[in-house]
Structures are given as C-alpha cells and as structure tokens.
C-alpha cells in the first residue's frame, strides 16, 4: 500500500516521493484514512514509529482543501510539549505544506515574539505551538482559535507528566466544540484519558503495540559498576565510534558531565531546559549534522527528538519511571533501525532498576564491568578516551532568549565589545579625534592639564597681579580701596558666580552673621572685617546667641526678638531688618 491508496491528494504524494518517502508505516496506514474522514483519532505507537506524519498528512490535506486562513486565526493547531519537538514537527511538515500552498509557523518560548506575531497577522493555516507561548499570544490578542478545524496533541502523555494539563485543557476549550481532535501518544494512561473523555467525540483508537513494548531491534544492557568507576566507564563508552545519547538526571549533572568529558578528550554537547533556545538549537544541529557524536541531555529536553543514526543510548543515571526509560531508549532503533541501550547501575541501585525495567517490559542482560574490560568493547564498542582536553564553548551571556539577528549585549557584529576592547577608531576617554572639545582638552594648540600657555587662567597658575583667594598683595586684608568687591577678589563690574554688583541680594553675598552695625562701605568677608567689627565669639555683653536663650526654652513667641533689645532695634539674620508680621 502506498500513500495515494490512503486517500491523500496527489500533490502531497509527489512531495513525499521527492523526499524518498513512498511506503507508509503501520500507524500511518491505520490512522490516516480515519483522520481524512473527519473522525477523532487516538493513536498509540511506540516512539519512532512515524506518528508525526500520521497526524501531519491528514491535517495538511484538510487545510489545503479549504479557504486561506484569516489574519490571527489559524485553521489547525498542533500542540507539543517542548520547543525542540515543535521545531522537529515544523521541519517535517513545512516542505510538504509548501507543495500545497499551506503556511506553517511555530509558536514556542525562548525566541522573540515579533516574527511569530508578524506571521499570525499575515495569516497562517497551521500553527505548531507549546502551551505556554500560545497562551501568551492569545492573552495579547494576537491569536484566536475560533477558526481551528483540527487540533492535534502530540506526545500527550509527556504534556501531562510535565504539568501542562491545565494549560492544554484551557486551550482546547477555546477551540470550536465540533472541531476534529487527533491525539497521539506513546502511552494512554489516566491523565490522557481525562482529556479524551472531555474533548473527543466517539474517537477511534489505533494502537500499533502494547504501551510496555520495547523495540525488537534494540539490545538492552545493565552494566553493574563499582561506584568510584562510574565516570571512567561512562567516558570510555562516550569515546566510542558512532552517535551516542547520554542521559543524566539533572541539569547540573548534564553540565558537569559535559565538562568532565571535554577534560578527557570527548567533545559533547549539553541539552536541558536551563539553556537558551539558541544554544539548544545550535547543539542539536551539531549533533544531527555529525559535528559531534555525543549529546548529554535530561529527560524533558530530549523527549520526542528524532535524530537519525543514534546507535547507543547510555543511562548514566537510571530513570525511575518505566515511561522515561522507554522514551529515552526510543532515541535509538527508530523506524526499523538497530541500536543498543546501556544503563550504568551501582550495587545499591540494582534492585530498583530491575523492577523499573520489568514494568517497562524489558529484560536486560546483566554484566559486571570495570574500566578497561574487553567486554565493554565487545558489547558497545567502548574505548579509552584520547586524554587531550577539548574546548567547551561557553554559552554567551545576554538578556533573554533571542533569536539570531536580534541585537543584544555581547552579541554585536565583530564579536563582543567590552570596556578596554574596542575596535580601532572607536571613541573613548583619552582617545578622541582632534578638535573635539572637552574638559582639559581645549583648542589653542595641544593644551593638556599642566601644560597650558602663559596667560591661561587656572587654579594655582595665575599671572602676577591677578587677585585670588590666598594670593593677595601685602596689606590687602585691612587696606583695600573703597568699593572693592570680591568673594575671591574680582574687580568691580565682573559679574560671575559669587561676584554680583552692589544691591543685588543673593544667598552667600549678604553681610556675614555677626556683621551688624557700623560696617564700612565696601566689601565684607569672613576674616577680613575692619576694627570694631563683630565676629563669632566676639559679641558684646548682652547679645543673645545659640545656646544662650531665656530659661523658658522652646520657640519664642511672635513679636519677641532674638535678644532683649526693643523691637525696633532688632535685626534679622545677617543684620537685615526683620520681616513684617501680621
């Protein structure tokens, strides 16, 4: 049976043939006719069995037969649990959609909104999304699900495991109640059943294998190792020829293992949810293209990812859930290929690991191994690492998760620009072009600080005869000519800060405190008063000052002066007449 016999349109069959896809897999033969007929479909198949095309082909055929999508109203929705799986689905369906003039777009977190918003405003027929980002776009009013005719849930069991069930339920409730629903999963357990009962109408179920079945072309090994030899054994396995996926339990464990492998000469990439989307995409692309043979990942990051040619899956940390074991193991032996799965087990983990594998329907071959055992090379091709450290590319630091082309700190053309590391010609302190005026770099030649021409006025370097504070001619203090004014001793008429003409009143240019009566006409300043002037600490008897108030204390009543003199004899602060009060 070929794809044309399943009822797919001829342009789609030709597009598949151009990619070398001519014979459908078992789950595709089972589900495509019912999906094309408009039935709700439950598809359960072991990972790597071809579920992406099983739902993708009928969705493309139905959308292509209808009208183009309206702006911000897609006609089909594909929900997936992870960003990588969304991109994988999009990559598989995009060339097929072009043959039918059907546009697809991903809506995932970790990348800027602008391209996704622009595509939705232009109109896209199929949107492949993660629940979180799609919810954000709906809240912003950029996307509406009123026109959705087909909704697909891929890897539904994983979405339930990751806690996306409330978001998925809310999104499905926004789609039309009479729309078609396709649900594909490796397992159909209780959480998935809740979605089925609420949103699916008389679904037809297609299961290609029991949920606990393992791929028949896969060899399972349980390697019993001493605790202190866990990393050396893992490094020798990672140094083998061929593509290897290594699973660790935590994000920290992934990063540590990547660094340790690099130190012994094994180049590996890390994949987990704590990395930026750009680094995750780059690492996965390098692994797919064969530029590195080892990918170290967590369960969540690698769930549903398809990479051709993975011949070994290594569990450095044994999974606790049988479903996780099946999903990890499903990264190899995909679509009929052969592969091996090895699990490193410490003595204290043996009992629980065997029980977990039994629930997963796996009967592994147990082998006790140590570093350098020939049996490791015989079973899975292990060999000693080179020992020459390799460089691990550090993840660039920046604000947010931005896609390529987005400008951000440390992401400029020509490499990151830092303080003290600017390109030639860059303007910085002490390296400005000639003619630019700044403090200490004025025209009239090259005039740096401490090298100014004669006649330039600066602090501590004034010509003879110029009057300044602390540098006055002999006899200046008490024998100034009448009318000379200064705070800093400037001539009359030069109006600068601190040197205004007589009569102008301002703060700092009034007679000093204690400079009350009997002052001579002329300039008055602190420390330069004529004989008889009253200074601080030299007041006549009876004058009141701070700390010498009457015994009543507190504020003086209105009308009482600062001292006991008559009201008309009082003066204000600095010798001024008091303000009138009413």
Distances (CA, A) of 458 to 146, 204, 402, 451, 461: 76, 93, 52, 11, 6
Nearby residues of 565 by Cβ (< 8 Å), 6 or more positions away: none
Q: What is the DSSP string of 382-415?
A: ---------PPPPPPP-SS---TT---TT--TTS
What DSSP state is assigned to residue 349?
G
287 CB neighbour count, 10 Å cutoff: 24
Beta bridge partners of 218: 339
Alpha carbon distance 29, 42 (integer Å): 14
Strand ranges (DSSP E) for 485-573?
Answer: none
Q: How many residues does the chain have?
A: 582
Phi, psi of 230 (to 5 degrees): -65, -50
pTM over 0.85: no
Side-chain-side CA neighbours of 14 within 13 Å: the count stands at: 6
CB 272 within 8 A of CB 297: yes
Alpha carbon distance 298, 313 (integer Å): 12
Of 554, 562, 581, which is closest to residue 513 (Cα–Cα)? 562
CB 382 within 8 A of CB 344: no
Domain with CATH 3.40.50.300 in the chain: 4-207, 218-380
CATH number of 4-207: 3.40.50.300
Query: What is the full per-residue pLDDT of the chain (582 aa) written as tens digits?
Result: 789 999 999 999 999 999 999 999 988 999 999 999 999 999 987 666 788 999 999 999 999 999 999 999 999 999 999 998 999 999 999 999 999 999 999 999 989 999 999 999 999 999 999 999 999 999 999 999 999 999 999 988 888 888 888 999 999 999 999 999 999 887 777 778 888 999 999 999 998 765 444 455 689 999 999 999 999 999 999 999 999 999 999 999 999 999 999 999 999 999 998 998 889 989 999 999 999 999 999 987 667 688 888 999 999 999 998 888 988 888 887 656 778 999 999 999 999 999 999 998 899 999 999 999 999 999 999 999 999 999 876 665 443 443 333 333 343 434 444 444 444 444 444 444 444 445 544 444 444 444 444 444 444 444 444 454 545 445 444 444 444 454 545 444 444 444 444 454 555 555 444 444 444 444 444 445 444 555 555 555 555 555 455 444 444 444 444 444 444 444 555 555 555 555
Fold of 218-380: Rossmann fold (3.40.50)
């Amino acid at each position: 049976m070929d794809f044309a016999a399943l009822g797919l349109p001829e342009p789609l069959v030709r597009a598949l043939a151009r990619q070398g896809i001519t014979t459908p897999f078992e789950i595709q033969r089972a589900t495509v006719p019912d999906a094309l007929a408009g039935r709700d479909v439950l598809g359960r198949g072991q990972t790597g069995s071809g579920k992406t095309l099983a739902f993708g082909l009928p969705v493309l055929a139905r959308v292509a037969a209808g009208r183009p999508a309206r702006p911000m109203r897609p006609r089909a929705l594909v929900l997936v649990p992870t960003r990588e799986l969304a991109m994988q689905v999009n990559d598989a369906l995009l060339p097929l959609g072009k043959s039918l003039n059907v546009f697809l777009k991903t809506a995932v977190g970790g990348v800027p909104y602008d391209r996704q918003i622009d595509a939705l405003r232009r109109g896209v027929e199929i949107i492949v999304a993660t629940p979180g980002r799609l919810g954000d776009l709906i809240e912003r009013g950029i996307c509406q699900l009123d026109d959705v005719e087909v909704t697909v849930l891929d890897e539904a069991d994983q979405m339930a495991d990751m806690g996306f069930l409330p978001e998925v339920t809310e999104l499905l409730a926004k789609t039309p109640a009479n729309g078609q629903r396709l649900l594909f999963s490796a397992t159909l357990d209780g959480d998935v059943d809740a979605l089925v009962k609420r949103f699916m109408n008389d679904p037809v179920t297609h299961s290609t294998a029991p949920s606990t079945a393992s791929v028949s072309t896969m060899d399972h090994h349980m390697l019993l190792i001493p605790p202190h030899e866990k990393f050396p054994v893992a490094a020798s396995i990672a140094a083998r020829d061929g593509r290897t996926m290594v699973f660790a339990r935590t994000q920290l464990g992934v990063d540590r293992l990547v660094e340790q492998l690099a130190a012994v000469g094994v180049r590996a990439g890390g994949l987990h949810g704590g990395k930026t989307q750009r680094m995750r995409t780059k690492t996965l692309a390098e692994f797919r293209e064969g530029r590195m043979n080892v990918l170290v990942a967590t369960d969540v990051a690698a769930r549903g990812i398809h990479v051709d040619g993975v011949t070994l899956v290594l569990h450095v940390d044994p999974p606790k859930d049988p479903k996780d074991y099946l999903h990890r193991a499903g990264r190899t032996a995909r679509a009929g290929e052969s592969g091996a799965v090895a699990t490193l087990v410490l003595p204290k983990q043996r009992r629980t690991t065997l029980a977990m594998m039994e629930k997963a329907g796996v009967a592994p071959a147990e082998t006790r191994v140590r570093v350098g055992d020939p049996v490791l090379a015989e079973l899975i091709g292990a060999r000693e690492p080179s020992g020459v450290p390799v460089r691990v590319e550090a993840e660039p630091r920046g604000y947010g998760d931005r896609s390529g082309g987005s400008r951000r700190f440390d992401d400029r053309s020509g490499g990151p620009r830092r303080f003290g590391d600017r390109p030639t010609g860059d303007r910085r302190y002490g390296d400005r072009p000639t003619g630019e005026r700044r403090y200490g770099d004025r025209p009239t030649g090259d005039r740096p600080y401490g090298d100014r021409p004669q006649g330039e006025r600066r602090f501590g370097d004034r010509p003879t005869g110029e009057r300044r504070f602390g540098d006055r001619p002999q006899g200046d203090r008490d024998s100034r000519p009448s009318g000379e004014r200064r705070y800093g001793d400037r001539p009359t008429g030069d109006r600068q800060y601190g040197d205004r003409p007589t009569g102008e009143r301002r703060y700092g240019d009034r007679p000093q405190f204690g400079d009350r009566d009997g002052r001579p006409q002329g300039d008055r300043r602190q420390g330069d008063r004529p004989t008889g002037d009253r200074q601080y600490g030299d007041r006549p008897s009876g004058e009141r000052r701070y700390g010498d108030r009457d015994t009543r204390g507190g504020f003086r009543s209105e009308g009482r002066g600062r001292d006991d003199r008559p009201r008309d004899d009082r003066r204000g602060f600095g010798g001024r007449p008091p303000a009138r009060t009413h």
